[in-house]
């Protein structure tokens, strides 16, 4: 999600100038084979690698030297013990593949590669599951998880492979993960493949590439016995880490305490460096960080109307970033009970339940930490977890206060105003995203005078509520109390309220066209959603901020992918 990415999708002026002027560093392959020079090579932010082969030596499979690894000479489904990863061999498609989409932002900002590497045959092989002596060995991660409230035992990367970690001069890494690369020891009954509809869902700065084949993959999309053939696809995903709550759960459940401590110490050393790795309470400190981060993450979800769809513990990042997008969705109308996943019959992971699910998942993390905590530390962990809702509520109020263009810190008066606006939206079934956006685009005098343009369709619906004028009066009073001018209000609101989000009907359109080898809609979505806060002519022409088509509510999305 662009809103939850740990790396900004907005380029700095220096980076843009760097790309436009093609200020690149030419590295010979021989330079990187000399281990004595490896530590001396630097990768400045204002230089880009011109050669993909020259970049490859910076891609390391560092977990091989850190954790015990299952050699797994053959991609056989099996139960694995006492390791965190298995060596796997990605399986390329048999048919010719086509590069459907690629993120130049990720290439430039995260990987320091020039955009033209997408034309490199070696790069295309790399992102489509081919093997080469130049590539690091691929790994599949072993983890477990609670799925829909029940312990599911060993899960793991059943159709994904970690291609390696790109480490920059500051020793910060971005992990490249290939989804749809074939069977691993963790595939269970699956075939290890992904299909197009599950791969055109996340146009974010953490999705590097999407390739599509003509290989047939059989799927029962809605688990109703209606099998159908779909086209196989692969996606390269990028994140600072793919460790999740389930990574620790499987180790605790199987009493692999040495590995549990090893992973916890790794997380502290590489991702929570401000924590003293020798402190006796370091694991408590780590838990406190994850509780805090998760609370802020879910408050961000709620403030954008984002519903993850499958909030199992194996899909919750230990770094509090959004991972493992499945049947997600954004609110259209403000419906608290919105469930994007048709497989979620009981609505366990509805929009309104996400905060409580976050607490549930963190409690499972707390239990997983018990083997490495003393009794007193275990009791302290409970106290830390009890603070989750306070952190979440404060963060959410701050976000909604900003969405109304008001100043921080938020007050009790702000909380009442936010609650009133949300109540009006809910009762009028107004569009979540555009109610905020159009409120921020319309002058206060026009709002008070009822001069709302017909094109402001979300506000027009909201205006029908008999208490809308009362809200406006209270809103104006609060703005005056804070000394906020109307121009400042509108400017600040447009900074935090997007015009465009990836609505399910928009993704559906793109998928349908892509199935027929028309990738124009995928590319259009990629362009538009890279700047979601700015109105764009092609997006307006495509109706991305217009009233959703009447057939939009009939679209169904499931866990099948």
Q: Is 170 a catalytic residue?
A: no
Max CA pair span of the chain: 74
Distance separating alpha carbons of residues 494 and 250, to the nearest angstrom: 44
Distance separating alpha carbons of residues 138 and 134, to the nearest angstrom: 12
Distance separating alpha carbons of residues 296 and 301, to the nearest angstrom: 9
DSSP character string of 485-506 = -HHHHHHHHHHHS-S----HHH
CA atoms within 13 A on the CB side of 117: 31
**Residue from 371, 374, 305 nearest 336 by CA:** 305
8 Å CB contact between 155 and 145: yes
Distance separating alpha carbons of residues 47 and 25, to the nearest angstrom: 6
Which of these is catalytic: 314, 344, 414, 431? 314
Q: Is 41 exposed, middle or buried (0-12, 13-18, 19+ CB in 10 A)?
A: middle
Distance separating alpha carbons of residues 303 and 292, to the nearest angstrom: 17
Place of tokens 């996400």: 354
DSSP character string of 439-459 = HHHS-HHHHHHT---TT-HHH
Distance separating alpha carbons of residues 294 and 364, to the nearest angstrom: 13
In this structure, how many other beta carbons lie within 10 angstroms of the beta carbon of residue 543? 13
Catalytic residues: 314
């Amino acid at each position: 999600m662009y809103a939850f990415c740990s790396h900004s999708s907005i380029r700095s002026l220096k980076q843009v100038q760097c790309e436009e002027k093609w200020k690149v560093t030419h590295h010979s392959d021989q330079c990187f084979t000399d281990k004595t020079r490896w530590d001396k090579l630097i990768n400045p932010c204002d230089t880009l690698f011109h050669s993909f082969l020259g970049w490859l030596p910076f891609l390391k499979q560092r977990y091989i030297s850190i954790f015990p690894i299952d050699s797994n000479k053959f991609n056989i489904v099996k139960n694995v013990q006492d390791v965190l990863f298995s060596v796997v061999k990605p399986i390329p498609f048999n048919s010719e593949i086509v590069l459907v989409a690629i993120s130049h932002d990720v290439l430039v900002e995260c990987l320091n590669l020039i955009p033209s590497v997408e034309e490199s045959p070696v790069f295309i092989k790399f992102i489509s599951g081919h093997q080469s002596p130049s590539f690091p060995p691929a790994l599949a991660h072993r983890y477990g998880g609670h799925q829909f409230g029940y312990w599911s035992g060993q899960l793991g990367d059943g159709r994904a492979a970690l291609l390696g970690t790109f480490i920059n001069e500051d020793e910060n890494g971005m992990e490249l993960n290939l989804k749809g690369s074939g069977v691993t020891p963790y595939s269970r009954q699956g075939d290890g493949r992904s299909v197009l509809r599950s791969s055109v869902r996340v146009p974010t700065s953490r999705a590097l590439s999407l390739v599509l084949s003509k290989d047939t993959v059989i799927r029962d999309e809605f688990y109703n016995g209606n099998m159908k053939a779909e086209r196989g696809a692969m996606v390269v995903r990028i994140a600072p880490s793919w460790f999740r709550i389930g990574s620790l759960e499987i180790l605790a459940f199987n009493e692999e305490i040495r590995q549990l401590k090893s992973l916890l110490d790794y997380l502290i050393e590489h991702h929570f460096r401000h924590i003293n790795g020798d402190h006796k309470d370091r694991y408590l400190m780590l838990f406190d960080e994850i509780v805090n981060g998760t609370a802020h993450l879910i408050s961000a979800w709620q403030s954008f109307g984002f519903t993850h769809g499958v909030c199992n513990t194996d899909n919750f990042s230990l770094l509090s970033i959004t991972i493992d997008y499945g049947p997600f969705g954004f609110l259209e109308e403000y419906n608290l009970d919105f469930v994007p996943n048709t497989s979620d019959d009981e609505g366990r992971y509805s929009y309104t339940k996400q905060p409580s699910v976050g607490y549930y998942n963190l409690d499972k993390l707390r239990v997983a930490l018990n083997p490495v905590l003393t009794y007193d530390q275990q009791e302290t962990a409970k106290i830390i977890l009890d603070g989750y809702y306070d952190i979440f509520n404060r963060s959410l109020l701050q976000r909604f206060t900003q969405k109304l263009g008001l100043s921080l810190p938020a007050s009790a008066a702000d909380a009442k105003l936010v609650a009133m606006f949300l109540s009006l939206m809910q009762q009028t079934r107004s569009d979540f995203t555009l109610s905020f956006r159009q409120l921020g685009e319309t002058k206060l005098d026009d709002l008070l005078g009822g001069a709302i343009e017909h094109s402001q369709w979300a506000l027009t619906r909201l205006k029908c509520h008999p208490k809308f004028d009362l809200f406006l009066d209270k809103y104006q009073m609060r703005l005056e109390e804070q000394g906020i001018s109307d121009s400042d209000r509108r400017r600040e609101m447009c900074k935090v309220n997007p015009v465009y989000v990836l609505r399910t009907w928009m993704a559906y359109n793109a998928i349908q066209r892509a199935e027929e080898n028309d990738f124009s809609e995928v590319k259009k979505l990629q362009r538009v959603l890279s700047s979601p806060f700015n109105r764009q002519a092609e997006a307006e022409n495509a109706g991305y901020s217009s009233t959703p088509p009447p057939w939009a509510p009939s679209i169904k999305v499931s866990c099948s992918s």
